[in-house]
Amino acid sequence: MGVEKSAYRQPVTPQGLKAIEKGTLTWLDDDMYNNLNTGVLEQYLEEKNLEESFEVSHWSTPKVIYGIAIGAVFSGVTAYIGLKLGLAISAAWYIAYLLGMALKWSPSEVNIATSATTGATHASTGFIFTFPAIFLLASDPRYFLADGPLISNADTFNLAFVGIVASMFAGFLGIMYFIIFRRVWLVEDPLPLPGFEATLKMLDIASDVNTGAVEHARASLKTIGWWTTITMGALFLIEYPLDLD
């Protein structure tokens, strides 16, 4: 009986297993890409990260400030789109990557900045899904209790403040829970992440720019640009209500 294989869980390659046993497999090399979503790789990199991360990656306050500034701008954009459409998708971390490439930051510095950007952007996500619920409890008769609305005498701004406070507390709870579940999902029983390759590729391009391999980075960016354009065009044709009559 062969090894089960799917897009969400790949078997480890012989070369990757040998590199893991020798301890030579490292971030952004060919063996890492060839063994994504194997489970074994994720466990190996987690232990490697615990041992070597503080030597490879150093805290940089300016990078964090850059990331938070970019995320703060896109946080408002994400909140507006989320409340308008009911779907929140942010591309702020791409801007942080492009800024890091332009300034020739190392992959670890880019990762720090993009992490801060993602955190700042997602601060609005809780509000997007909390505020409508609070607003409906206060204004829609279908959610009224026997003696009236659950939240009375509250205008939109007061409700928004309640939503912001609720989102802050929910964020703290989420961080505490994630500290626990991160170990489970990444090490003990790692979840497959078939879409994580895009993030790794952006870090790989940043590494090429940082080390002087500009031509290779330029070729990778062209490939990403072409596929992004094709995807946007396809989605436009699929989603936009064109009147062909």
For the segment 119-154, what is each residue's pLDDT rounded down to a tens digit? 888 777 777 877 787 777 777 777 777 777 766 666
pLDDT digits (tens, 9 = 90+) for 54-79: 777 778 888 889 888 888 888 888 88
pLDDT digits (tens, 9 = 90+) for 162-192: 777 777 777 778 778 877 787 777 777 777 6
Which of these three, 171, 193, 215, is where a domain ends? 193
**Same-domain check for residues 108 and 177:** yes
Structural domain contains residue 98: yes
Instruction: Give the number of domains in the chain.
Output: 2
**Same-domain check for residues 98 and 23:** no
Give yes or no for a contact between 145 and 105, defined as CB atoms under 8 angstroms apart: no
Give yes or no for a contact between 134 and 157, defined as CB atoms under 8 angstroms apart: no
Which of these three, 177, 193, 209, is where a domain ends? 193
Please give the average per-residue pLDDT across 208-225, as a whole number.
Answer: 75
112 against 87, higher pLDDT: 112
**34-41 contacts: CB < 8 A, separation 24 or more?**
35/10, 36/10, 36/193, 36/196, 36/197, 36/200, 37/8, 37/9, 37/10, 37/192, 37/193, 37/194, 38/9, 38/10, 38/11, 38/12, 39/9, 39/12, 39/190, 40/12, 40/16, 41/12, 41/16
Cross-strand partners of 145: 148
Structural domain contains residue 219: no
Structure-block tokens of residue 129: 């899904």
pLDDT at 103: 82
**Same-domain check for residues 71 and 165:** yes
- Report how far residue 10's alpha carbon sits from residue 31's, in angstroms, rounded to the nearest whole number: 13
| Domain region containing 126 | 61-193
Structural domain contains residue 204: no
φ/ψ of 183, rounded to 5, equals -65, -40
pLDDT band of residue 215 (cuts 50, 70, 90) is confident
Burial of 46 from C-beta contacts in 10 A (0-12 / 13-18 / 19+): middle
Q: How far is CA 53 from CA 65, 118, 194, in A?
A: 21, 20, 24
